[in-house]
Amino acid sequence: MKRFLLLISLLFVACATTINSLWINRETGAKRWVINNPVLASDIRVLDVKEEERDGNLIVSVLLKNGWHMPIGGKVKMLFYDQNGVQIDDPWGWHQVMLESNQEQWIKFIAPKPRDQISKMKLMIRGINRYSSAQP
């Protein structure tokens, strides 16, 4: 029984530390998921990604949905890449998200360089903890 509980504990720890990524090629419009944790992918879903331009700046809005029947929390981050595929310095870091059961929420990211200098983006979703929103 102790081994079983240890295995389950390790599984939950692994799920909490795994990052899933959505790559978006702005030039072709192609989107590609890199799923390291299928449980995480079903808990937090990306429903939509929209781009807008304000004063030459690229603003990316991502619609997330909690696909689980309880509140969950985690972190999201958007990385931006130039035309040569080089990652642009990220001044923003990770954003905390807390979602109630079946809640949808828009998260906005501002690119660190003008819109015409961004060729690819990578949305990262990390450490969704199904119980973190219930903790103080």
pLDDT at 94: 94
pTM: 0.78
Domain assignment of residue 84, given as a range: 2-134
pLDDT at 5: 46
CATH number assigned to the domain comprising residue 41: 2.60.40.3230
pLDDT at 85: 94
Of 112, 13, 29, 20, give the one whose Cα is nearest residue 64. Answer: 20
Low-confidence ranges of the chain (pLDDT < 70): 1-17, 127-136
pLDDT at 17: 56
Of 94, 125, 86, 90, give the one whose Cα is nearest residue 111. Answer: 90
pLDDT at 10: 44
User: What's the number of domains the chain is made of?
Assistant: 1
pLDDT at 3: 58
